[in-house]
Amino acid sequence: MDQLTWTGSAGTVLLPVFEIAVLALVLSLLAKLLFVLAGLDVPRLPGPDGTIAARSPGLMASMGIRFSFFAALAAILCMLAAGAVMPTPLEAGILGAMAVRFWPVWLALAATFVLSIRFRRRLGLYGKLFDSTVGMIGFAIVMFWVFTAIFADVIITQDPFIQLSGLKNKVPGIAAPDSPYGWYLLGGDHLARDVFSRMVMGAREVLKIAPAATLFAFMVGITLGLPAGYFGGKLDTFISFLANLVLAFPVILLFYLLVTPEIRDTGIPIVLAALLFLFPIIFLTVLWNSRYYTNPPQRNLYVGITLLIGLWAYSGLAFNIDPLGIWSMEPNMLNVFVSVVFVNSPGVFRIVRGLVMDIKARDYVAAGQTRGEGPWYIMLWEILPNARGPLIVDFCLRIGYTTILLGTLGFFGLGVSPDSPDWGSTIDDGRKLLNLFPHPALAPALALMSLVLGLNLLADGLREESLKD
Amino acid sequence: MTALAPDTPWDPSQPILEIEHLSISFFTRMREIPAVMDFSCTVMAGEAMGLVGESGCGKSTVALGVMRELGKNGRIVKGSIKFKGRDLAQMSDEELRHIRGSEIAMIYQEPMASLNPAMKVGAQLAEVPMLHSGMSKDEAWKLARQIVADVRLPDPDRIINAYPHQLSGGQQQRIVIAMALMAKPALLILDEPTTALDVTVEAGIVDLVKELGEKYGTSMLFISHNLGLVMDVCDRICVMYSGEAVETGNVVEVFDEMRHPYTQALFRSIPLPGADKNARPLISIPGNFPLPHERPPGCNFGPRCDYFQKGRCDAADVPMFPVPGSDRHETRCLRWQEIDWEAPPAKREIKQKAEIGRVVLKMEDLRKYYSVSGGAFGGGMKKVVKANETLSFEAREGETLAIVGESGCGKSTFAKVLMGLETATSGSIMLFDENVQSTPIQKRNTDTVSQVQMVFQNPFDTLNPSMSVGRQIIRALEIFNYGKSDAERHERMLELLDLVKLPRAFAERMPRQLSGGQKQRVGIARAFAGGAKVVVADEPVSALDVSVQAAVTDLLMDIQRENKTTLLFISHDLSIVRYLSDRVMVMYLGHVVEMGTTDQVFSPPYHPYTEALLSAVPIADTKVIRKRIVLEGDIPSAMNPPPGCPFQTRCRWKSQVPGGLCEREVPPVQVLEGGHQIKCHLSRDILAQMEPVIKIAAE
Amino acid sequence: MGLFVLRRLGVMLLTAIALTFVVFYLTNLQPNLEKLARTEGSVRMTEEAVQDWIAQNGHSGSIFMRYGQWLGVVPGWTYTDEKGQMRGRCFEIGQDPTAAPTYCGLLQGNWGYSTFFKTPVMDSLGEKLAATGWLMLAVMLVMVPTSLLLGVLSGMREGSATDRTLSTFSIASTATPEYVSGVVLVALFATAATGISPLLAEYGLIEPKKTLFLASATSAMDDITFWNFALPVMTIALYGIGYIARMTRASMTEVMTQQYIRTARLKGVPFRTVVMRHALRNALIAPFTVIMLQFPWLLNGVVIVESLFNYKGFGWTLVQAASNNDIPLLLACSVVAVVVVLLTQLISDIGYVFLNPRIRLA
């Protein structure tokens, strides 16, 4: 079997097109920047009759950027599409073959988009996301990785932990006769494992922790930020001091102190977990109680269910004593999880506190007070729902931030098992031979970057759309 | 200023500004939204033109169109704007830049927002002549200092070296006016210049604008929603409705002989002296203002018009018709010759006066002090702010007690104390024979809470934007323990919607789908959910448009009559207070300075502050003659009140009190005939000599 | 104003004490001490011997007392063994205990002795800090002007093509953590296998098998050149550029919609002057605070980049100290980090007050 080329047989035509487009893009970007700095970039001002006046050089450059960008994009898409219709990976090339491997993801993405765009008018803020190009691109990238994580078992070409002899640090597209697939699409790493499969599996590792940890950080931040902002005074001073304390720590130092094998022996992570995991239960209990206390049977039902499921999960996650054994977390995973929640919560706290201070001056809050509502009802049902716009945006950004933090942990080899395929550790593994064999580190690096970029774009789109009201 | 002579010769007998068939549209991704259609008007040299209309009628868009400042989406689609004979719509950006600020200047609604917070006042003023006539920096600052003195600001040397935030609202607006006058423009555009200010401060600004306009011979385009103000300032008026000018002409002619149904309806819906809530109630305009993309065919006012004729009024666009024998008076009504303009309104119903019953609320010697730490950096001296000082009054069942005062007078603090959101420092509040003075709302029992409710000022803020209308009313019912089941509460919620005359379908709507007036109605329904006996209405209509105000006020009065509710009506608007209240309490810096029945307060003897307040309120009636009393300066800060009488810094009667008593002692409350209370050192003789501020001219 | 600074200083001191205590506590956990005992003593020590070693070296007793000793507000520990030889915190074995000072902690200038580098902490840290100082300086010089320029240019006309292009760039760069951009930059510019170096070699612009930039910055310790320093600096700066540019843009777009900007335009002020004189100062208040508060994150970047490029500065030392259980060195690193962060916060607060006249004279 031969080594694969990047673009397969379609590449002979498309590759030069792509190169020219990229070159044109770079040139027009530079030109644009120069024009802007030189003040030649006059904005389009429609004349009284609606026509656009003579084209300025800046405008020409903008058009250049646009056309070359779309040309480059089209070339890549053609390569991917061409690869998908070719019978074997040899003709499809690496890009085409990878596109084929991701088939469940494409299918799921298409279904999501078709359904969402169809019913977008009924879907509130989520539906409005599809009015914004930036938001849609971001959403597509994020969902690409989410679906990749879900279908990872189907996408990988071989078990990410298997090492095949002779494939150590081999370049992308190398033939691997012992592998069931026949090739290492993105080459082999320093232990002769398949870089492509490890990257795909890494998505699962990251997406298992990042959103959940962010959610927990939000619960903690909200539960503390609401009363701090609403009551103010000594309580606020105290919690804010604690939050600033954590924020003043350089994250990396905190990780070096909190995520070590030694600290696991002392039980500090479990204490922290016991503390932090309590917040979601408190949050939900107070949420139901403040709303339904006028109707005790309903209140008892909701609070009962929350306490039952909450305490069950709590016992398993924090202390690993779940009697049924469904909820549990490995000690080092728990350590990582707790640390990430701990680092993220003060940031959420600050945002929530600020939002509450702003919203509590509104008349509908006063209306709630004058009809004798309790403070928690006002915080949770009058203030919090109206802070949701900025919070959702921050949630997206923060998942990205958490992904970066998890990568940092992996990069320093903290808290994760040595051969874990998560992106951070894979980059760490690859960096030692970076200037000789960059590909094992490059693949997870680009994957991580694209996920965070997607989350950022998604947040931007959401912000834009939620401001339009 | 010879340097600013226009480059093209211009004949002063020609109009300064001539707008012809102007149409302005805003373009969104979805559609074109016409904001102004077929608008024409002419402003002659030295003339002041008033542009009146409700919010959304396009009056500000016209002003911005003249400035060619329509943003990215706005565009002039038709017509011309000729300034001194040159069409602004065709000018290049560079030509436009030379005209802006030097020949046409603008004064805005929010003085604080219009001034750059990081630049000294002087620098912002001096920039104008430096830019337009190439003046040197020193000269420009000298000119700035002189103009600052011209707008009658004290201590101009200090002011030009100050930052905007160091000045009070009134002073800031004077600076904005000074900035507009720096280049001695030929045309001044004023966009609601006094809306953000207190009435007594407004009066000073209005006088200044009028005087400066005459002194420099500047033409003015004055935009306002307040008809009275326009009458004070302008020679001519143009009434706008939904993007069109509907009537234009000489102010006196339009006010006395209006020839458009909208203008007529507008005048019938504002409380003028002589209106009475029982005998001559206001008539609100039915229906709602049409959204810009949902305008009806033909006459825009058609669907809300009493004189509407199907097939005629909605057939085609209506042009302007000149009214013969008048001073350029025009109307956009097809039927203006057929309508009997003198006929009394058809559907004015006379209502029964409500019985006034037992005392339900009694306050004695209420005081509320706050301690505030001085300065932004904490520390420093703790200051005591006396928000309410010895407040005593009682309110009876079915009675409307108005609480009148400008910003900082303590009327909102008083409401908070009554509602139990704050506790009083001392004194007693007897509510249905129960002392609630030191009981915060959490400790009050549900009955007490449900019996005292509040209607809030800002309609856009009064409802929780993320909860449906029905849900919000039901929540109030739940809290007040009304009904046994969800079904019962739902039924009651629908009844409450009926009560406030909203369709039942609104229960499912979200607040953003409602107009301001509708939101305010929901707020009223929510307040009456628990059968409230005492309702505090904190400026409930001041943020609404004139035509909606009448409807909401009427609704409040109707519910009050039915439920025998005690209404505490907090307002700064004396016209509406005179119209609906039984008794009036005037507050100034935490003190009640005058209290009595409406007739007592609105006729002499007055407290000097009430006298000034009454004279400051503009009245849109040509037959009313007002005595002009303009107060000096601004309202002192409650953080730093003057010694002695709180009003002594601005009082024009101070010289009548011997021995500087006003500066030393807080005056005692004098009880005059009929329980009329005045907190003043003036002797009864002097009080008795006071003349009425408002006189209706004999016809 | 004076009172304000004083209050801030008080809070800062409290924060510093709390933070250093937390670090002290976490570094002096029992398992860490046991590990230390085994590395200092011998790996095959019995459990008992380990405990003895801990007790004899002043690591037993209340954590507060030990913290106090380290800080220098509690007398240093002494221990007399069976042979009657005295050992203590403040003197070497064999020195006269009576001549030694009673207090010898941080406040007395005694930062301890690095167990990994086998040198006094002060010596090794000082030189490392200087190296990092150069790196930070270069980063700041690149990052601040670039990001402000980008932010102002894109925020000046919201929604224009310039804005979109620059915004996309800043979003992309904030989405790229240092360990990713470092890898990508090395792959593009500093490997002989991929990127532009093979191309340049092909055209004969550089020698074959050589790379355009160096993938290691170790040589920059002695001699900083463009070729060995550009990549580490760019790696740290990229992330910050995106972040600050976005802040500046947000602030600038907000300022540009303010009414006083409209006032200025309607006074006839040309657009350029509107931006320079009226918008800029107001728009730069927020980014200034952000730049200052970026320091904790910059430290993060420094640690990653120094590890990645093998530049032996402060971040590299921190990693070495932490992974080799070098307690005194790690504590010293933490103190430096905490002080730097708190100082920048103070500067940011004071700067904010000076930039914003609304607060200054209140």
pTM: 0.86
Say yes or no to pLDDT of B379 above 70: no
Q: Which span out of A207-216, B316-325, B558-567, B676-685 was modeled with the highest average pLDDT?
A: A207-216
Query: Which tokens sit at A325?
Result: 């054994």
Are C358 and B117 in contact (CB < 8 Å)? Answer: yes
Nearest to A401 by CA among A463, A338, A348, A333: A348
CA nearest to B115 within chain C: C260
The answer to whether residue C338 neighbours chain A at the CB level (below 8 Å) is yes
CA nearest to B478 within chain A: A294
Sort out which chain A residues have CB atoms less than 8 A from B479's CB and list them.
294, 371-373
* Separation between Cα atoms, residue B607 and residue B591, nearest integer Å: 12
- Express each pLDDT in A341-367 by its tens digit: 999 999 999 999 999 988 888 888 988
Helix (H, G, I), strand (E, B) or coil at A44: coil
Sort out which chain B residues have CB atoms less than 8 A from C359's CB and list them.
376
The answer to whether residue B131 neighbours chain C at the CB level (below 8 Å) is yes
- The neighbours of chain A, by the rule of 3 or more Cβ pairs under 8 Å, are B, C
Say yes or no to pLDDT of A45 above 70: no
Are C318 and A252 in contact (CB < 8 Å)? Answer: yes
Q: Who has greater pLDDT, B335 or A277? A: A277
Are B479 and A362 in contact (CB < 8 Å)? Answer: no
| Cβ–Cβ < 8 Å for A360, A229 | yes
The answer to whether residue B93 neighbours chain A at the CB level (below 8 Å) is yes
Residue A221 pLDDT: 94
The answer to whether residue B372 neighbours chain A at the CB level (below 8 Å) is no
* Separation between Cα atoms, residue B162 and residue C280, nearest integer Å: 20
CA nearest to C176 within chain A: A449
Sort out which chain C residues have CB atoms less than 8 A from B69's CB and list them.
262, 265-266
The answer to whether residue C318 neighbours chain A at the CB level (below 8 Å) is yes
CB-closest option in A370, A374, A388 to B419: A370
The answer to whether residue B5 neighbours chain C at the CB level (below 8 Å) is no
CB-closest option in C19, C161, C211 to A435: C211
Residue C361 pLDDT: 40
Are B69 and C266 in contact (CB < 8 Å)? Answer: yes
Sort out which chain B residues have CB atoms less than 8 A from C4's CB and list them.
377-379
Are C180 and A247 in contact (CB < 8 Å)? Answer: no
Sort out which chain C residues have CB atoms less than 8 A from A460's CB and list them.
171
Say yes or no to pLDDT of B79 above 50: yes
Q: What percent of chain A has pLDDT over 70?
A: 94
Cβ count within 10 A of residue A444: 31
Are B449 and A382 in contact (CB < 8 Å)? Answer: no
State how far Cα A231 lies from the chain centre.
34
The answer to whether residue C265 neighbours chain B at the CB level (below 8 Å) is yes
Residue A279 pLDDT: 92
Residue C121 pLDDT: 83
* Separation between Cα atoms, residue A278 and residue A220, nearest integer Å: 9
Q: How far is C146 from chain A (nearest CA, A)?
A: 12
For the CA atoms of chain B, what is the radius of gyration? 27
Nearest to C238 by CA among C284, C188, C274, C197: C188
Residue A395 pLDDT: 92
Are A253 and C318 in contact (CB < 8 Å)? Answer: yes
| Cβ–Cβ < 8 Å for B323, B315 | no
| Cβ–Cβ < 8 Å for B276, B348 | no
The answer to whether residue B165 neighbours chain C at the CB level (below 8 Å) is yes
Q: How far is A346 from chain B (nearest CA, A)?
A: 24
Give the residue ranges of chain C where pLDDT is below 50.
360-362
Least confident of A1-10, B168-177, B322-331, C321-330: A1-10
C203-220 as b/e: b if 16+ CB within 10 A: eeebeeeebbbbbbbeeb
The pLDDT of A122-146, averaged and rounded, is 86
Residue C233 pLDDT: 92
The single-letter DSSP state of residue A379 is I
| The 3-state secondary structure of B448-498, one letter per residue | HHHHEEEECCCCCCCCCCCCCHHHHHHHHHHHCCCCCCHHHHHHHHHHHHH
Sort out which chain A residues have CB atoms less than 8 A from B476's CB and list them.
371
Residue A239 pLDDT: 92
* Separation between Cα atoms, residue B550 and residue B281, nearest integer Å: 9
Are C266 and B67 in contact (CB < 8 Å)? Answer: yes
- Interface size between A and B, measured as CB pairs under 8 A: 69
The complex's ipTM works out to 0.86
The pLDDT of B403-424, averaged and rounded, is 82
CA nearest to B125 within chain C: C267
Cβ count within 10 A of residue C96: 8
- Express each pLDDT in B26-36 by its tens digit: 887 777 888 88
The answer to whether residue B89 neighbours chain A at the CB level (below 8 Å) is yes
For the CA atoms of chain C, what is the radius of gyration? 26
Which band of pLDDT confidence, cut at 50, 70 and 90, is reported for residue A192?
Answer: confident
Q: Which span out of A341-355, B594-608, B682-696, C280-294 was modeled with the highest average pLDDT?
A: A341-355
The sign of the torsion formed by the CA atoms of B260, B262, B265, B267 equals: negative
CA nearest to B119 within chain C: C278
The sign of the torsion formed by the CA atoms of A196, A197, A198, A200 equals: positive
* Separation between Cα atoms, residue A358 and residue A232, nearest integer Å: 12
Query: Which tokens sit at C120?
Result: 């006094």
The answer to whether residue B253 neighbours chain C at the CB level (below 8 Å) is no
| Cβ–Cβ < 8 Å for B528, B450 | no
- Express each pLDDT in C185-236 by its tens digit: 888 888 877 777 777 877 777 777 777 788 787 787 778 888 888 889 999 9
Nearest to B550 by CA among B271, B142, B296: B271
Sort out which chain C residues have CB atoms less than 8 A from B375's CB and list them.
362
The pLDDT of B425-444, averaged and rounded, is 79
Cβ count within 10 A of residue B33: 16
The answer to whether residue B106 neighbours chain C at the CB level (below 8 Å) is yes
Are A257 and C15 in contact (CB < 8 Å)? Answer: no
Q: How far is A48 from chain B (nearest CA, A)?
A: 6
Residues 6+ apart with CB under 8 A from B337: none
The answer to whether residue B521 neighbours chain A at the CB level (below 8 Å) is no
Least confident of A102-111, B54-63, B373-382: B373-382
Average pLDDT along chain A: 84
Sort out which chain C residues have CB atoms less than 8 A from B117's CB and list them.
260, 282, 357-358
CA nearest to A444 within chain C: C180
The answer to whether residue B71 neighbours chain C at the CB level (below 8 Å) is no
Interface test with A, best of B412, B448, B457, B475 (most A CBs within 10 A): B475
Which band of pLDDT confidence, cut at 50, 70 and 90, is reported for residue A370?
Answer: confident
Q: Is A423 exposed, middle or buried (0-12, 13-18, 19+ CB in 10 A)?
A: buried
C61 φψ region: left (φ > 0), alpha (ψ -120 to 50), beta (else): left
For the CA atoms of chain A, what is the radius of gyration? 26
The pLDDT of A271-283, averaged and rounded, is 91
Instruction: Starting at the earlier edge strand, list the strands of the sheet with B48-52.
Output: B104-107, B187-191, B219-224, B48-52, B236-241, B244-250, B330-331, B321-322
Which band of pLDDT confidence, cut at 50, 70 and 90, is reported for residue B258?
Answer: confident
Helix (H, G, I), strand (E, B) or coil at B65: helix
Residue type at C127?
E
The answer to whether residue C175 neighbours chain B at the CB level (below 8 Å) is no
Q: Count CA atoms within 13 Å of residue A115 on its CB side.
A: 8
Q: Is B327 exposed, middle or buried (0-12, 13-18, 19+ CB in 10 A)?
A: exposed
- The neighbours of chain B, by the rule of 3 or more Cβ pairs under 8 Å, are A, C
Residue A223 pLDDT: 94
Sort out which chain A residues have CB atoms less than 8 A from C13's CB and list them.
none
Which band of pLDDT confidence, cut at 50, 70 and 90, is reported for residue A48?
Answer: very low
